[in-house]
Structure 1
Amino acid sequence: MTLFEASGVSMQLGDGRWLFKDVCLELEKGETLLIPYSAGQSNLGGKSPTHFGIPIWRSRVMYVPQRPAIHPGTPMDLFNMAKKYASQKGKYFDDPIKIGNDWNLSEAHFYESWNYLSGGEMQRVSLAIALALNPEVLLLDGKSK
């Protein structure tokens, strides 16, 4: 069974030209696809976001932007708050600090104010938190080279 599918995926450039339009895709567990899009429909296990409700959808299909927002408090404050959402009930969580250690982040990075982290540290901390929350699908916004 397809884990994640999207249909009508489109990306229009600022000058009105279409980079691509109405692309359909299906992903199985463990597959990776890198395509930015600005329009279209996504489904998880054949069900739309409205079927799940937005809070549940966002806990199962998580998005990590290229430039994470600066949140109040520390990264661990954000992680601990996210774990308490009703949509996370019954889920197993990993340790974001252990994940971050593999990417040259120390425990101190997770307890510093977001304002004191560099852009790269913010990206790695945000990704470690997202992975620790164990979503079924992780969507990453990144700049292509």
Structure 2
Amino acid sequence: MTEVLLSVQDLTYTIPEEKYPLFHDVSFEVNKGDIVIIRGPSGCGKTTLLKCLSHLNVYKGRIELFGKTAKQYGVPTYRTKVSYVPQRPSMLPGTPMEFLKTVHGFKSRQAYETSEADAVENALKLSEHWSIDHDLWDKGWSELSGGEAQRLSLAVAVSLPGAVVLLLDGKNTDGAASNRILPHPR
């Protein structure tokens, strides 16, 4: 029997100051273990949809994770369960390692019994598996290529406990790196 991980009902998003919605009445379900790819032309709302799913945009409709809304979880706790990997993580301040430690230290993550050392170890193991040079963890985000930044951001998301990873624009990774990323079990 399949378990519904994410349920979206009548999701509508209107860009502030715009008259018509970017998308409306979108409904779908994602089962635990599913991999879903959202495709479409530039500007059609893929990024906005993922931001709604991760509760980073204000929307109309209902989004449930394991049958509960972000409000029922509490938004900070919900966001620990749904990780959004941006298209341009190079816009972040500091280094990927500082980001990992900061995100791990959020109060909303205290429910997970993972030490900072374990989170770092998990991230470094992923780096090794995905052929990411360990030195990149200590470089500034702005010093990294788009693909390096996105792979490190994905390593942060996957190394921390959670239920969903929302990834944008996998084109930023090279083919060999993509082949190493996909087979890794969560």
| TM over 0.5, shorter chain | yes
**1:22 matched to 2:49:** no
Please point out which of 5, 8, 11 is paired with 1:6: 8
Q: How does 1:1-145 map to 2 (within 5 A)?
A: 1-9=3-11, 21-35=24-38, 36=46, 37=49, 40-91=61-112, 92=114, 93=119, 95-142=122-169
Aligned amino acid, residue 136 of structure 1: A
CA distance in 1, matches of 2:11, 2:87: 20
Aligned amino acid, residue 28 of structure 1: N
Query: What value does the CA root-mean-square deviation take over the aligned residues?
Result: 2.7
For residue 31 of structure 1, report the CA deviation from its aligned partner: 0.5
CA distance in 1, matches of 2:74, 2:157: 19
CA distance in 1, matches of 2:74, 2:21: 31
Which stretch shifts more, 57-66 or 19-28? 19-28
Aligned amino acid, residue 159 of structure 2: A
For structure 1, the residue ranges without an aligned partner over 5 or more in a row are: none
For residue 134 of structure 1, report the CA deviation from its aligned partner: 2.2
For residue 71 of structure 1, report the CA deviation from its aligned partner: 2.3
CA distance in 2, matches of 1:102, 1:18: 42
For residue 26 of structure 1, report the CA deviation from its aligned partner: 1.4
For residue 65 of structure 1, report the CA deviation from its aligned partner: 1.4
Higher relative contact order (CA 8 A, sep 6+): 1
Higher strand share: 1
1:36-82 CA deviation, whole Å, 9 max, x = no partner?
Answer: 33754311111111111111011011111122252222111110111
Higher helix share: 2
* Aligned 8 A contact 1:97 1:106 in 2: no
* Aligned 8 A contact 2:5 2:31 in 1: yes
DSSP-derived class of the 1:63 partner: strand
For structure 2, the residue ranges without an aligned partner over 5 or more in a row are: 39-45, 53-58, 172-186
